[in-house]
């Protein structure tokens, strides 16, 4: 596709709400996934000493 200006690019041929909304939802999902992964990692690291304390 060719756009004559930045305004035409951001309008995406009339589909801007769908296109940019999709990018926004995807970015939000990636951010949430990173936050959840960090929280799970912290919980797993905290659980390691408690689980291995009774092990020989």
pLDDT tens digits, 4-38: 899 988 888 889 999 999 999 999 999 999 999 99
Has residue 42 got a pLDDT over 70? yes
Choose among 35, 32, 33, 8: nearest CA to 19: 8
Look at 49 and 30; give whichever has higher pLDDT: 30
Instruction: Note the pLDDT of residue 2.
Output: 76
Look at 52 and 47; give whichever has higher pLDDT: 47
pTM of the model: 0.71
> In angstroms, rounded to a whole number, what is the distance separating the alpha carbons of residues 26 and 15?
17
Choose among 24, 1, 31: nearest CA to 13: 1
1 CB contacts (<8 Å, ≥6 apart)?
13
């Amino acid at each position: 596709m060719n756009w004559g200006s930045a305004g035409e690019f951001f309008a995406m041929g009339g589909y801007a709400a769908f296109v940019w909304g999709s990018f926004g939802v995807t970015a939000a999902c990636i951010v949430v996934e990173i936050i959840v992964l960090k929280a799970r990692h912290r919980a797993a690291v905290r659980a390691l000493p408690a689980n291995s304390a009774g092990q020989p």
